[in-house]
Amino acid sequence: MSKIKKISLRLSTPRDVKKTLSRISNLVANGEMDTKQANTIILACNTILGAIRLDEQQKKIEMLEELVNGFAE
């Protein structure tokens, strides 16, 4: 069985996700990571990025609601 190299990934911000995707692409291109492992990480990145976007949209909606409610009072 081949030994799997552990890597640490930051995925807290869209910038982190972008850097991770670039890093994973380079690892695959250099033969340092197999495509199955890369696809798993890419899927996780896309899911996390979607969640980050939803959080950001929710914050914007809440700010707009506060503004609208402030004018209505």
User: What are the tens digits of pLDDT across the range 55-66?
Assistant: 999 999 999 999
* CA pair distance 22, 45, nearest whole angstrom: 11
- List, for residues 17-69, the tens digit of each pLDDT value: 999 999 999 999 999 999 999 999 999 999 999 999 999 999 999 999 999 99
Residue 17 phi/psi, 5-degree rounding, is -65, -45
Does residue 10 contact residue 20 with C-beta atoms inside 8 Å? yes
Q: What are the tokens at 13?
A: 């911000």
pTM: predicted TM-score of the whole model, two decimal places: 0.77
